[in-house]
Amino acid sequence: MINVKEKNIKELEVLCQEIREKILKVVSKNGGHLSSTLGATELIVAMHKVFDIEKDPFIFDVSHQSYAHKLLTMRWEKFDTLRQFGGICGYTKPSESEYDYFVAGHSSTSISLGVGAAKAIKLKGEQKARIPVVMIGDGSMTAGMVYEALNELGEIKFPLVIILNDNEMSIAKPIGAVSRMLSSAMASPFYQKFKKHTENFVDNFGDGAHYIAKRMEESLKLITPGMLFEEMGINYIGPVDGHNLSQLIEIMQTAKNLNQPVVIHAQTLKGKGYDIAEGKEEKWHGVGPFDLSNGHSSKKSSAKSATQIYTEALMHLAKNNEKIVGVTAAMPSGTGLSELIEAYPDRFWDVAIAEQHAVTSMAALAKEGFKPFCTIYSTFLQRAYDQVIHDTCLMDLPVVFALDRAGIVGEDGETHQGVFDISFLRAIPNMTLFAPRDEKSFHQALGFAAEYQHPCSLRYPRGSFIETNLPESAPFELAKSQLLRSDNSDILFIGYGNGVGRAYETAELLDFEVNILDLRFVKPLDEEMLLDMATKHKKWFVFSDSSKMGGVGSTILEFLSYAKILDVEVESFEYGDKFITHGNTKLVEESLGLLPQQLALRVKERV
């Protein structure tokens, strides 16, 4: 453990520089989140200086900006293994360290966690010994859950320090030197003590005096961005320089001593300390390995990614159909929607970290006769499950859910693996589920989706589709599969989406022939084809990048049970009932026994 409390300001500034150098060295080699975590370095060092990591809950929103925290809490030597298989996680993880308070990976949960921790501390009578401290980015402030938590916090007023890391100036821009002067004054112990005495004094003069005093205070705060928090009953300090250690330490100490809920609004520079990444460029938020000297990516793939194919296909459809609209939730580049937003700014939107709003707003557009494409990572659609059910499927509205990052996503790990969408969407009435297997079938699938008049979802992987030498894709028809390889073998490989490529790779390693079926639709199933297959082939193997519980294999077993077909054996090569760790995708798949070589051996054993 690095003892921050015993270091003076000069020593802490040197430590911040060492932390940045370590982060840059490791992230340039392993990939990871960069710009925001570099910008948060002084904030985290100040947190460790003022608060007690042995007692106080340190809660990081999303926690992608917590690298400095990891380095300060006994993980300096292990930091080289960041995001590697068997190494430390890119997010906070209590099973990795007792100093990580909560698992985090999705946005806007931190203040709710802080409120819950504050309630527990009060119930346990530990208010004098412990105080929760939350760090949240300005991007996370776009989600509704934050305001649900703030609403209660302003009512109960339990002690809680919220550090708002504003690296985009998206809350408000301070108005020059006067604003900075007032913010410093309002952060001082004198002002806070004076405010308390004034409130007690005014109590003796009734509501009229209260009103006048309140208006006077508000007139001062009009030139600072703290009105929202103050009106909710939460103290506000800021904006302050998020890279000025001495000021941060002083202000955090003041906030800690208030014994009330307080927001510290700190402005930081994304990519601080690495000139190439400094600023607001989205591409430096999360990066793959890169050359530290020039910022150029170290890994270049010639294969076209599924996301690139989606962008091209949707752009083609949008050019020819003005009714096509679309949305993403804070991931315009990651989902490939940035090009459409640029080309058609009146029809495609980034609504920030607000998946629930994204889905419901698209439902209204669908009701008005438009064709919405709701483009979201599989892992993030979980955040809008009620909106999919209540606002889309209940009304049977033709919204298309295009789910990027389906399957194993690699280094981001448990919080980001896209493995549950089939399981949780399949249960919803009116929902149709299908998946492409390659570039041509992706264009065909999107063409089908554009004309389909009911809710539907299609999924596709991070990176590229698995290449095959199978017959060309036929046009998509509702509930129709495509038989790609047929012979007299008793063995049937059923592939779904990218699982078709995995089935093909496995088949190529066998010394006997197998049949290969591209299932295409998991809801509704091609029952006619499956009944025919059941009369010819008695050993079925299912390939899909999805959870086994409620997944493709479960769907097929349910169908066979309903059809009273008892002589077909089914084995699913989907993911087991556990959360999947982080690491290189191939190493993760190997740990799960899902590489083609491993699957081929399992098939041989069964046969």
Please report, in range form, the residues annotated as the binding site for thiamine diphosphate.
Answer: 64, 105-107, 139-140, 167, 274, 355
Neighbours of 189 (CB within 10 A): 12
DSSP of 305-355, one letter per residue?
A: PHHHHHHHHHHHHHHH-TTEEEEESS-TTTTT-HHHHHH-TTTEEE--S-H
How, if at all, do strands 521-523 and 432-434 pair? Answer: antiparallel
Under a CB-based contact definition with an 8 Å cutoff, are residues 430 and 396 in contact? yes
* C-alpha dist (Å) from residue 363 to 222, 358, 454: 37, 9, 11
Q: List, in order, residues 6 or more apart from 75 with CB less than 8 Å away.
A: 88, 96, 97
Burial 221-250 (b: 16+ CB within 10 A, else e): beebbbeebbebebbbbbbbbbbebebbbb
Q: What are phi and psi of 351, to 5 degrees?
A: -100, 15
Quick check: is 383 catalytic?
yes
Angstrom distance (rounded) from CA 226 to CA 586: 48
CA dihedral over 170, 172, 178, 184, signed as positive or negative: negative
The one catalytic residue in 270, 347, 371, 437 is 270
Look at residues 72, 71, 60 and name the one whose alpha carbon lies nearest to residue 25.
71
Q: What are phi and psi of 491, to 5 degrees?
A: -105, 130
Helices (H) and strands (E) in the chain, counts: 23, 19
Under a CB-based contact definition with an 8 Å cutoff, are residues 68 and 44 in contact? yes
Could you tell me the strand order of the sheet in which 515-518 lies?
Answer: 482-485, 515-518, 491-495, 539-543, 569-572
The one catalytic residue in 70, 221, 383, 437 is 383
Angstrom distance (rounded) from CA 171 to CA 221: 14
Under a CB-based contact definition with an 8 Å cutoff, are residues 72 and 43 in contact? no
DSSP 579: P
How, if at all, do strands 456-461 and 400-406 pair? Answer: parallel
SS3 23: helix
Angstrom distance (rounded) from CA 125 to CA 119: 10
Q: Which amino acid is at 358?
A: A
Quick check: is 270 catalytic?
yes
Both tokens of 281, joined, read 């460029």
Both tokens of 550, joined, read 């409620």
* Category of 353 on φ-ψ map: left (φ > 0), alpha (ψ -120 to 50) or beta: beta
Extract the annotated binding site for Mg(2+): 138, 167
The one catalytic residue in 42, 355, 505, 574 is 355
Quick check: is 339 catalytic?
no
Torsion of CA 61, 50, 260, 123, to 10 degrees: 80
Residues classed as catalytic: 270, 355, 383
